[in-house]
């Protein structure tokens, strides 16, 4: 066989082998008899819940063991341990703001249609899309997008804390397959089964999914309009107030502030003012004071829509991050009182530069994503140790400058 033909033949064989390797991932893993027995027993529960035997068997075809990666992620979730400034820096950042503005122009006809129907601010939807999936960027990441059926079966079988959640969501996922909105091989999601551009767990998908593009499928995986409309439906159904703010950054006096909700007029009497110096538009609105980083960090008066955002993710940090990112996508100014960081911060583009330099020098093996997660901080610490400077592990301007000099 001529050399060129041999090379082409070998390339074709390697390509076919790669496809087979990917398609047979489950089959090549060592089967777990106990898990297989659990799947067999759960089949009875699924059929009693209205799932056909054919749908169930097809959904579990080739799945013979739990996903250890899912269990590892369930046991260790570093985002809950992150400092406040890191949480917000990784979400309300330059790249997300710029991308959000571009998507706003690109998606304007759909966003207008969604806003008319559900009353939700398009900037809020864009912020959710960014925070939940990096504008769909994670959907192509094989490291984090797993089989929803296998992930939820793993949690139901092997995670005592999430057993009930796993069973409930697994039944809902099987019903999604049975409804025909998505094929089994494309039913992918996070370790906990969150799916699509706006990361809906199966039961939430069942409750709120919308087919706004009119193709007959509620497709939050491939249809951005459907995904954004689904997010808007969730917020609208939980009491989103059309045209109302989520909250404002405020300045607070040195005295101790009361907990609970009261009118803006009452907060003003206590000395609370908007940080940008503008007046509050509605003095009668009921608001609550939030201090996510204590008295030394930014303070916010939040309204009804803030608490509606928490129906998406029951976290003050999350709701504030969505609100702040939405404000910036809408052309708003940065915080007046920034987060208190023990270093000079970098924007997301500079963090990418930092990651690239750390990778070039052999300290970093993760993704170049502009987000200063645990891997980046560990790499910074290793670099600082090798450079003979104080080890702090912060992705700072000082470290970036030192890297450039080395």
For the chain, what is the mean pLDDT? 91
In the predicted structure, residue 276 carries a pLDDT above the cut 60: yes
Minimal CA–CA distance to 371: which of 126, 21, 191, 131?
A: 131
pLDDT value at residue 28: 45
In the predicted structure, residue 237 carries a pLDDT above the cut 70: yes
pLDDT value at residue 77: 64
CB 228 within 8 A of CB 114: yes
Average pLDDT over residues 337-346: 91
Average pLDDT over residues 330-337: 97
pLDDT value at residue 24: 40
347 — alpha (psi -120 to 50), left (phi > 0) or beta?
A: beta
Question: 249-281 burial by CB neighbour count: b if 16+ within 10 A, else e?
Answer: bbebeeeeeeeeeeebeebbeeebbbbeeeebe
User: Beta partners for 249?
Assistant: 300
Q: Tell me the percentage of the chain whose pLDDT exceeds 70.
A: 92
CB 348 within 8 A of CB 93: yes
Distance CA 37, CA 70 (A): 20
pLDDT tens, residue by residue, 357-384: 999 999 999 989 898 888 999 999 999 9
pLDDT tens, residue by residue, 97-138: 999 999 999 999 999 999 999 999 999 999 999 999 999 999
Provide CB contacts within 8 A for 46, sequence distance 6+: 56, 170, 171, 174
Average pLDDT over residues 303-332: 97
Alpha helix locations (H) across 330-392? 348-360, 374-387
Pairing of strands 261-263, 286-290: antiparallel
């Amino acid at each position: 066989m001529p050399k060129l033909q041999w090379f082409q033949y070998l390339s074709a064989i390697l390509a076919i082998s790669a496809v087979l390797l990917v398609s047979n991932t489950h089959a090549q893993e060592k089967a777990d008899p106990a898990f297989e027995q659990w799947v067999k027993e759960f089949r009875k529960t699924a059929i009693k819940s209205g799932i056909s035997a054919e749908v169930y068997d097809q959904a579990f075809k080739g799945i013979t063991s739990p996903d250890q990666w899912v269990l590892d992620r369930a046991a260790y979730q570093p985002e809950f341990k992150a400092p406040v400034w890191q949480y917000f820096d990784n979400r309300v950042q330059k790249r997300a703001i710029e991308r959000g503005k571009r998507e706003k122009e690109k998606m304007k006809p759909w966003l207008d249609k969604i806003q008319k129907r559900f009353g939700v601010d398009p900037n809020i939807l864009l912020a959710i899309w960014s925070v939940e999936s990096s504008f769909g960027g994670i959907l192509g990441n094989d490291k984090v997008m797993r089989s929803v059926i296998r992930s939820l079966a793993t949690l139901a079988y092997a995670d005592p804390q999430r057993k009930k959640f796993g069973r409930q969501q697994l039944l809902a996922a099987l019903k999604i397959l049975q409804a025909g909105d998505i094929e089994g091989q494309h039913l992918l999601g996070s370790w906990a089964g969150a799916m699509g551009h706006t990361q809906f767990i199966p039961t939430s998908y069942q409750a709120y999914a919308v087919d706004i593009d009119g193709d007959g499928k509620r497709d939050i995986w491939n249809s951005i309009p459907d995904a954004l409309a689904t997010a808007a439906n969730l917020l609208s159904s939980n009491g989103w107030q059309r045209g109302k703010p989520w909250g404002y950054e405020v300045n607070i006096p040195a005295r101790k502030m009361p907990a609970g909700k009261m009118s803006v007029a009452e907060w003003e009497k206590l000395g609370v003012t908007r940080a940008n110096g503008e007046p509050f538009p509605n003095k009668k609105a009921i608001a609550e004071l939030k201090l996510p980083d204590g008295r030394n960090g930014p303070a916010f008066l939040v309204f009804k829509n803030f608490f509606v955002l928490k129906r998406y993710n029951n976290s003050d940090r999350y709701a504030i991050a969505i609100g702040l990112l939405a404000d910036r996508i809408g052309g708003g100014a940065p915080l007046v009182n920034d987060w208190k960081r023990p270093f000079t911060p970098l924007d997301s583009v500079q963090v990418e530069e930092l990651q690239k330099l750390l990778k070039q020098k052999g300290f970093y093996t993760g993704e170049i994503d502009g987000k200063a997660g645990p891997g980046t901080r560990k790499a910074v610490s290793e670099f600082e140790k090798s450079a003979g400077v104080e080890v702090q592990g912060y992705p700072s301007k000082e470290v970036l400058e030192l890297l450039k000099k080395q």
